[in-house]
Chains A and B, each alone.
Chain A
Amino acid sequence: MSAVRKKSEAQLHLDDEMVKIIDKAMLETFSSFMGFNPILKHVERSDKNISDRFEISGIIAFIQDKVEGTLAIRFRQESVLRLLSRVYGDELSVVDNRVIGGVAELANVIHGIAKEDLNLQGYHYQMCLPVVIIGENHVVVNALSGQKLIMNYDLDGDEAIVELVLHKR
């Protein structure tokens, strides 16, 4: 039996502790993969759906027996092309399978780090597969929950946001 008490009944909050967990995951991911430290510029909790400016989103679920949610990392097209060009070592100019795979993998790795931190606290989240949404000014709508945590990042001159939604099942 796990030494850590299972917190299946606990309500996860979009609090400062959650901000720290996501920020640590962003830092580890971008510093290792791209060689710079992302800067968290702004945090807000809001029930609004952000549509403007973002054209590609990597989305991955958090699943547990009592609490579930989604994490989305969202980019403008020009930003994600610049960022992933660093990884691939050649200049990307269109959103192709390499870009889609890159965004999916970024979401996957950020989720994996955050999930580990949550599970060390006893939450027992499971691994999920990422999906990528592409489209000008698209909206990520979480049908079952109101408030979301929105974290705005400066990624070495480019912008991205992380949106996190959690709710009881």
Chain B
Amino acid sequence: MSKQLRILLVDDFEMIRSLLKQALKQLGYTDLTEAVDGLDALDKISKAKEAGQPFDLVFLDWNMPKMTGIEVVQKCKADENFKNIPFIMITAEREQKSVVTALKAGVSDYVIKPFSPRQLASKIERILTSASAA
């Protein structure tokens, strides 16, 4: 499995970004960038693409100020430049209908808080496997 993924972590709470960073570093992923809300995420996704170093994966929170995680995904999926970026939604919302809403918006997978490194590893592996099969 490649450890060279460029990963964007989007959450308005620094605690969750910090926990994600710790977990992903434990898994061997070190190319990590943070964004503090949906607008910041779009800006960083766009700039990374312009710099020729697009993100391979985005973890993002659902409820954020300025722009929700769902809106970020919808905007990216509607843009030819970003539509292939896989998104993993991270949220405390556990309802089945919320999972369906997120999947319909275009997220590739879904992580419920609180999460463990093992859960993140499983989600990443699933996305990498489906990407290589495509």
Contacts and interface: CB of A to CB of B under 8 A. Distances in A.
A108 B11 CA distance: 14
A29 B114 contact: yes
Interface residues of A, number: 25
Which of A97, A101, A119 is most buried by chain B, counting CB atoms within 10 A of its CB?
A101
B92 A87 contact: no
Nearest to B12: A101
B22 A101 contact: no
B10 to A, nearest CB: 14
B95 interface: yes
Q: In which size bucket is the chain B interface?
A: 10 to 19
B94 A116 contact: yes
A127 B93 contact: yes
B19 A33 contact: yes
B18 A88 contact: yes
B94 A115 contact: yes
A108 B14 contact: no
A139 B13 CA distance: 26
Contacts of A127: 92-93
A30 to B, nearest CB: 8
Contact of A98 (B15, B19, B114): B15
B92 A98 contact: no
Interface in A107-158: 108-109, 111-113, 115-116, 119, 127, 129
A111 B92 contact: yes
10 contacts: A29-B114, A31-B114, A89-B22, A101-B15, A105-B16, A112-B91, A112-B112, A115-B94, A116-B95, A127-B92
Interface of A: 28-29, 31-33, 84, 87-89, 97-98, 101-102, 104-105, 108-109, 111-113, 115-116, 119, 127, 129
Q: Which 10 A-B pairs have the closest CB atoms?
A: A112-B92, A32-B114, A116-B94, A102-B15, A101-B13, A105-B13, A109-B113, A109-B92, A108-B92, A105-B15
